[in-house]
Amino acid sequence: MRTGELREVILFSSTFVQRVDPENHRARNGDEAGPIVDMGPYPINAARYVFESEPTEAVSAVGVRHPEAGLGDFDDTAAVTLKFPGDRLAQFVVSYAATALESYFAIGTKGSVAVQPCYTYGKSLRQTVTVAQEESAHSFKNTDHFGGAMKYFSDCILNDTHPEPDVEEGYADVRVIEGIVKALKSGAPLTLEPFDRTLRIDTTAQRETLRAVKSPDLVEVSNPAAAVDKVPKN
């Protein structure tokens, strides 16, 4: 995207869904429950960095509830549209009621990039680039996401440097989440207040290649998706 091979990138599309155990805490916390707060930041953050700008013009969202999922009093599935400056659109779906899938597409006027899987840890990333009908595939080894983050923050402390993912970066995602929640409740599009991020990711400085580690054994807790087979079926 940054080399210009795709020309102008004007569309972002993503699907991030999973089935969640109704007994999990993420299905039991009122307005804070559900996929919007839990999973929404992933495609929002991806879209913001694909476009290298902030959604400011409009937010619209539609939520639905599937009784057969056995979840709480919240929209277990939501479709969101964000309008970015330059008439660029980002659309994504998040859900607690569908079989696991994670993907995103960045689409330009000459080519596209598809990544699947793309968000969760413990998997190798797979990327497909299409430019002028020519397709190439790339795979990236699974790495230790948490180890890399800890090393980065430790280096910031030891060297007295400012971390890139600071409070402003957190606010950039949360402001959109709040807009989505309001749009769902009102049933109407919402205009966000103007905002511009002053710092962007330096991919060279933050790149880490720590090898993947084995997931730890769970102690007195269950996998949040392990009990989905208990969900009542029609």
Q: Which helix (H) or strand (E) holds 145?
A: helix 145-159
Q: Are residues 101 and 59 in the same domain?
A: yes
What pTM does this model have? 0.87
| Pairwise CA distance, residues 189 & 182, whole Å | 9
Give the CATH number of the domain where residue 85 resides: 3.30.360.10
Structural domain of 152: 143-164+202-216
Q: What is the per-residue pLDDT across 26-76, written as a single tens digit (0 to 9) for each?
A: 888 776 789 999 999 999 999 999 999 999 878 999 999 999 999 988 999
Q: Pick from 101, 130, 100, 126: which is nearest to 115 by CA?
A: 126
**Closest of 30, 31, 14 to residue 181, by C-alpha:** 31
Residue at 224 is within a domain: no
Identity (one letter) of the amino acid at 140?
F
Domain count, the chain: 2
For residue range 110-169, list pLDDT tens digits in order.
Answer: 999 999 999 988 888 899 999 988 999 999 888 888 888 888 899 999 999 888 888 999
